[in-house]
Structure 1
Amino acid sequence: MGETDAPGGLGLPPTVTACLFDLDGVITKTAVVHAAAWRETFDAFLREREGPGFRPFSPHDYDAYVDGRPRSDGVRAFLASRGITLPERPAGGNADPPGTLTVQGLGDRKNALLLAEIRAGGVEAYPGSLRYLTAVRAAGLGTAVVSSSTNCLDVLRAVGAEDRFEVRIDGVVAARRGLPGKPHPDTFLAAAAELGVAPERAAVFEDALAGMDAGRSGGFGYVVGVDRVGQAAALRAHGADTVVRDLAELERSA
């Protein structure tokens, strides 16, 4: 399906009536903050486990195993890539302190680092994305944010974008409803359902390969890959109908 003149010159097919946006790397510049928190967490763990000759967590590891996935899924996927298995959580089911050598503990350590950066004002929105959101809403299209992050609402508030979305399906909502995270399409499908739109009439906007897989497998009408890190070919291989470096390019292409 090619790009055509959608209402408002949005660079989308005219059949699209709703836009479903990932948060980190699409709306906000938090992907780099997430990557740094993951790197610090995993490198400390690997250094303790393997000594000073450990192989550090890399940008490839972030893209392949962590980006776009729910936190615990990311921990499991990365550890599996290194042949490492950890317990899920402590015996008895109590929460472990951040840094405990369990899947939950490593995830909590990463989240503590991320929250510290958010509270220190280390979050920004992409200006082109905010302009595009304004144009989408002015054209009368539905809007939803779909994120695996449990900090989605805090991030939106930090950049003043909370009121830009009619629907929010994030890590908190997904856990409450028992929705599997990306690369499964369930969170995007839930957002479309809340907007009252069939998947084939919704566009998905994602920067993560897991998000591309979710958009394609969910049968959505259009999938936009947002390439912030030079992985355009991989985004297309995972199902993007078009790839842009910034959402503002969609308005210019319309």
Structure 2
Amino acid sequence: MPDTSAGLPDLRQAAAVLFDLDGVLTPTAEVHMHAWQAVFDQVFTLWGITPPYTDEDYFAYVDGKKRYDGVASLLRSRNVEIPWGTVGDDPEADTVCGIGNRKNVAFSEALRRDGIAPYPGSLALIEQLRSAGVPLAVVSSSKNAEEVLASAGIRDFFTVVVDGVVAEREQLASKPAADVFRVAAERIGVDPADAVAVEDATSGVASAAAAGYGTVVGVDRGAGSEALLANGATVVVDDLDRFLP
């Protein structure tokens, strides 16, 4: 893929560009982080779990994964094992699914209350790519992806959305497994080697790399440039406006 004058790949030449959502297109990662913090603070206090939950835990164990996988991974880091439960568990249930559902209630309440807008640089890039005729997709672990895309006013940019709902229905493994990025490439009709994946999570860049994407862009919103590169990013930027002419 040709380089831009800044030494970055020209995404307008890609066969397709597939974006993660939270933290890449919209600042919903911050809303997710606050919701997780509130839920895990409550759980850790009630159960006497130490050390306390931190932002570093979010990036290490939760970010980019399907909701229930994130809960299980975080608790496992504290040597805590609880029943998995079922997706229909009450949000107050002391199960992996119950805790995940509790977090989703907190997230949905915040989204409906405050709304969301895309990052300006991300919006400018997808506008440019659509004008250039580049197929665009969203590959997100969130079950709220459709709601977030609609709230941000950008749903119509994307011909394919593979999200947490699709992953659960089709039993696709959570990032960092290759499944969701592989399936999204199939549905948009491209060879991953000719496509670009854009991610802000270490699990996300690892997923895209495992699926064979030729270019994996890491957007450093807090995970750290070195961690993104170590997990599969081929280039790291601090904002997607870096790809604008």
TM-score computed with the length of structure 2 as normaliser: 0.94
Aligned-partner Cα distance in 2 for 1:16–1:126: 22
Aligned-partner Cα distance in 2 for 1:221–1:13: 12
| 1:237 partner letter | A
Distance 1:94 1:71, change over 3 A: closer
What secondary structure does 2:143 align onto? coil
Q: 1:19 aligns with which of 4, 17, 37?
A: 17
* Other-structure match for 2:72: 76
User: Residue deviations 1:163-189, cap 9 Å, x none?
Assistant: 010100001111111111210111111
* Other-structure match for 2:197: 204
Which segments of 5 or more consecutive residues in structure 1 lack a partner in the other structure? none
Aligned-partner Cα distance in 2 for 1:77–1:3: 39
Aligned-partner Cα distance in 2 for 1:159–1:94: 27
Percent identical among aligned pairs is 43
Pairing of 1:1-254 with structure 2 (within 5 A)? 4-5=3-4, 11-12=9-10, 16-50=14-48, 54-89=50-85, 95-229=88-222, 231-252=224-245
Would the aligned equivalents of 1:10 and 1:135 in 2 still touch at CA under 8 Å? no
Would the aligned equivalents of 2:11 and 2:129 in 1 still touch at CA under 8 Å? no
What secondary structure does 2:93 align onto? coil
Aligned-partner Cα distance in 1 for 2:223–2:118: 19
Distance 1:213 1:69, change over 3 A: same
User: Residue deviations 1:81-116, cap 9 Å, x none?
Assistant: 000000011xxx683221211001000000000000
Would the aligned equivalents of 2:75 and 2:81 in 1 still touch at CA under 8 Å? yes
Aligned-partner Cα distance in 2 for 1:210–1:3: 27
| 1:20 partner letter | L
What secondary structure does 1:131 align onto? helix
Would the aligned equivalents of 1:209 and 1:235 in 2 still touch at CA under 8 Å? yes
User: Residue deviations 1:3-31, cap 9 Å, x none?
Assistant: 6149xx98337862100000000000000
Question: Could you tell me how far 1:195 is from its partner in structure 2?
Answer: 1.1
User: Residue deviations 1:18-56, cap 9 Å, x none?
Assistant: 0000000000000011011111111101100117xx432
Distance 1:136 1:219, change over 3 A: same
Aligned-partner Cα distance in 1 for 2:26–2:57: 21
Distance 1:145 1:10, change over 3 A: farther
User: Residue deviations 1:186-220, cap 9 Å, x none?
Assistant: 11111111111011011000000000110111110
What secondary structure does 1:204 align onto? strand
Would the aligned equivalents of 1:15 and 1:201 in 2 still touch at CA under 8 Å? no
Instruction: Give the alignment's Cα RMSD to 1 decimal.
Output: 2.0
Aligned-partner Cα distance in 2 for 1:216–1:140: 24
| 1:125 partner letter | P
Distance 1:136 1:72, change over 3 A: same
Distance 1:69 1:230, change over 3 A: closer
Would the aligned equivalents of 1:16 and 1:221 in 2 still touch at CA under 8 Å? no
Aligned-partner Cα distance in 1 for 2:223–2:82: 32
Structure with larger RCO (C-alpha < 8 A, sep 6+): 1
User: Residue deviations 1:129-173, cap 9 Å, x none?
Assistant: 010001111111110000011110000111101101010000111
